[in-house]
Structure 1
């Protein structure tokens, strides 16, 4: 498990990534407010997590918990959209656990075109990921 447990104000970007190679699953938790440099750090951590997988490229599942993520600036939304659209790292399915807020609308825009599900609980997201 990789973790960036920063202390300080809730606006501080925080991330954790956990890989379950036996299930082809990457669990990601993002919180706070992300600037472009923070997104670059996230991409590096995500790429390291992907190297722990045993499945073929693009065959993994991703569960992303963003319930504690703040509304992001437009350049950050665009940055996450580019991350999600990268065909080299796209997952077979991606589930987002989101709070009912504007952040939910932002992630739906950023993940448009993806086989993505949006849930309010981790249990529902995981059930959807593994239903097929």
Structure 2
């Protein structure tokens, strides 16, 4: 994801997200998600709140969600989206993918 977002784009994103996730062969909320936001610009407070509702909603929730971030300000802004378990932030996409693929015990109770 990159650039600046407006409210209509986020609504459209949510609609598409619901459609795509409903078509996955796994049980509800058992999917994992990698979200690469290295090209995302700093968003307005209103857009951050829209994204927080999108990410933090219980309607469709990834079992694990890995954000790949770039600039430190964007990373700080992304960390404000949610504090729920199963969300981590990375600067390297390969490290994020490895974390997403780790067994549950390694994530919930083991050292990374």
TM-score > 0.5 by shorter chain: yes
Question: Which TM bucket (shorter chain)?
Answer: 0.7 to 0.9
Larger fraction in helix: 2
3-state secondary structure, aligned to 1:110: coil
Shift of residue 101, structure 1, vs aligned partner: 2.2
Specify which structure has the bigger relative contact order, considering alpha-carbon pairs within 8 angstroms and separated by 6 or more residues: 2
3-state secondary structure, aligned to 2:38: strand
- After TM superposition, the structure 1 = structure 2 runs for residues 48-87 of structure 1, keeping only pairs within 5 Å, are 48-87=19-58
Larger fraction in strand: 1
TM-score (norm 2): 0.87
The CA deviation string for residues 38-96 of structure 1, in whole angstroms up to 9 with x for no partner, is 10011112112102211111100000000000000000000000011111101100000
TM-score (norm 1): 0.74
Q: Which runs of 4+ in 1 moved over 6 A?
A: none
Unaligned runs of 5+ in 2: 104-112
